[in-house]
Each structure stands twice: as structure tokens, then as C-alpha cells.
Amino acid sequence: MTKMALAIHGGCGVMAKLDLSQAEWEAARVDLGRALKAGWDVLTAGGSAVDAVQASVVVMEDSPHFNAGYGAALNTDGQHELDAAIMDGRTLAAGGVTLVRRIRNPIKAARKIMEESDAILLGGDAADAFARSAGLEMVEPDHFTTERRVRALASMKAHVAAGTAAKASEAEKHGTVGAVALDQEGHLAAATSTGGYNNKPVGRIGDTPIIGAGTYARDGVCAVSGTGKGEYFMRYAVGHEVASRVKYLGETVEQAASQVILADLKPYGVGAGLVAVGADGSVAAPYNTDGMFRGWVTPEGKFFVATHGEVFEPSEQHAMDL
């Protein structure tokens, strides 16, 4: 039996510590813990890495604290256009959706596409129609809208009008959710889901559904899920780049992931982060912003969640609630 591993992120668009109340930070950490628990339960029951990453991402899509599914960012027209992808490192099979507006859990549609479609990536109305005919739960687009995102859009538009968009905080700009896992059989998988970034152009597609950019998994190498300014993740094919460094340079997952996020992308001054898990179960979670919602489980089954530098073990009460 291989060592299992699981790591998740809820985006590197984390606000400054003082911008949220203690209760709000706590609530976000509780949901990170719930997402970890959903994935870890799959792994400990002998389930696949693909099932585990999907289970973790579904919890974060349904949480208002992260920019994916319910609580997703709005584009410049005040609409949601959601992206998601999943990849099975065992077969290199992958599926993704882009610009979808009515699928409650876009990651479930990505999974269906991976398993039931010839295509890897479906977009827009056709992707919504595919999900509907696959029997997935559909919602009205305003299901995804939260007060916080409406305020964030207004604030970003004000920045644009004042010519200060570049100064807007990372939290106002973006976020994403993702998970990577290694299962008992040694297979790797990655899943990522996002609303993109706040005030993004209509029709803009990010890195999340692009296999090799925001989402990548390959058995024997690593699984990667990214968050940050997607255009740079696409230019650098970040997921594949991290995997290539591991595979061809023999770097550890930590070395490879840090090199790409902290060094290669540095000159661009854009927010970026990722979670990665190696074939040996090692986990990396570098980010270059003030913080990144993240969590991981040690091989002994200990849970850790964090938003900024400080790392928390979900409290006993919360562990019981999970």
C-alpha cells in the first residue's frame, strides 16, 4: 500500500488578516477542514485519487468562502462564467468545462466529460446542456452570487474608474479551489474549479480548465492544481512545468513548485500559488501573495489548515462536527 496524500487550496486571493473578522476566518477554515475530510474519507476507504479530489472540490464549490461554484467571482457584466477541470494521473484522462453558468458543481461536469465524452473541454451553453443531459444538478445563475462578490465587483470597477486597478488587493482580484491526491494504489489526480477573477472580460477563459496549465496529474510524477493570474499559468504551462522539473530534472515537488511560483513568475508581479503532491506523497503549497487558503493531511491522518503564515489543526469541536 502506498502512502496516501491529500492537499487542497481555496485560492491565493486571500485578504489581509484584518479585513475579515475572526469568526469569518474561522468559518473559512472550518470549510477547508470539511473539504479535507471529504477527500480523506474517500482515500482511507480505498477510493481513487480522482474520487477524492472531486469530493474535496465539491465541498469548496458549495462553500461561499471561496471563488468557485457558490460564491464565485463576477465578470465585468456582473455574470458568472465558471471553469473547472479534473485529471486522472493513471491514464492521463482529463475533462473540463469553461464559461458555464448553470451547473451547480462544475467539477462534476468536468468528471462526466472525462468519462463520457470524446472531448476534453466543453464550453458555454453546450457544456451546460451536456451537464443537464448527464443528469447533474442545474441551478439559476444567481445561485452562485453572494453579497461579498457583488461588493468586490463594485470596488474593482471603482478602482478601474480611478485608474488604480493594479493596486487592488489580491482578494479583490481572484481565487480558485483545487485538490491533489495520491491514493492507496499510488495513483495521482488533480481537480480545480474557479469563477476566474473579479471583473474579468466576458468570455475570458482562465488556466483552470486548461490541462497542463492550472490542472495536471501524471502518475509517477506529481499532481498540480494552481491559483493565481491564469494568463501566466497558461504561458508557463505551470502544471506541466512543475511536472517536467520533477520528471526530467529530478527535483522534489517542493523545489519544482517553488521555482515556478516564487522565481519564474516573480518578474510579473502577479498573484500565484499552487498545491502539488508527488508520487512519494510529498506535498508542496507555495504562494507569493499575503496568504493562500490551504490544507493538507499527513500520512498519519493529521489535518492542517491555513490562510496566512499560521497553520491550524482543526479544533476538536470542529473535528467532531466534520
Catalytic annotation, residues: 176
The least distance separating ligand ASP from the CB of residue 75, rounded to whole angstroms, comes to: 11
Give the separation between CA 178 and CA 8, rounded to whole angstroms: 6
Nearest CA-CA partner of 176 in 282, 299, 71: 71
Nearer to ligand ASP, 52 or 85 (CB): 85
CB of 242 to ligand ASP, least distance (A): 15
DSSP-derived pairing of the beta strands 5-9 and 177-182: antiparallel
Measured between alpha carbons, how far is 242 from 66 in angstroms, rounded to an integer?
A: 25
Minimum distance between the CB of residue 126 and ligand ASP, rounded to whole angstroms?
20
Cβ 299 to ligand ASP, closest distance in Å?
28
Nearer to ligand ASP by C-beta: 132 or 148?
Answer: 148
Alpha helices in the chain (DSSP H): 22-44, 49-61, 106-116, 124-133, 147-162, 170-173, 230-235, 238-249, 253-258, 316-321
Other C-beta atoms lying within 10 Å of the C-beta of residue 304 = 18
Q: Which is nearer to ligand ASP, 12 or 222 (CB)?
A: 12
**CA atoms within a 13 Å half-sphere pointing along the CA-CB vector of 231:** 8
Residue closer to ligand ASP (CB basis): 145 or 176 = 176
Indicate the SS3 state at residue 65: coil
Judged by DSSP in three states, 145 sits in coil
Q: CA–CA separation, 310 vs 68, rounded Å?
A: 24
CB of 5 to ligand ASP, least distance (A): 22
Residues 209 and 110: beta-carbon distance below 8 Å: yes
Q: Considering the complex, state which of residue 194 and residue 307 has its C-beta at the smaller distance from ligand ASP.
A: 194
Closest to ligand ASP by CB, 266 vs 302, is 266
Least distance to ligand ASP from the beta carbon of 195, Å? 8
> In which residue are the cell numbers 490542472 written?
215
Q: Which is nearer to ligand ASP, 54 or 194 (CB)?
A: 194
Rounded alpha-carbon distances, angstroms, from residue 246 to 65, 85, 95: 32, 22, 24
Give the residue from 182, 192, 197, 241 showing the smallest Cα distance to 214.
192
Residues making contact with ligand ASP (CB under 6 A): 11, 13, 174-176, 194, 196-197, 206-208, 214, 227-230
Paired residues of 45 in beta bridges: none
Minimum CB separation from ligand ASP for residue 7, in Å? 16
Which position has the grid cell 483545487? 178
Orientation of helix 106-116 relative to helix 49-61, angle to 10°: 150
**In this structure, what DSSP letter does residue 287 have?**
B
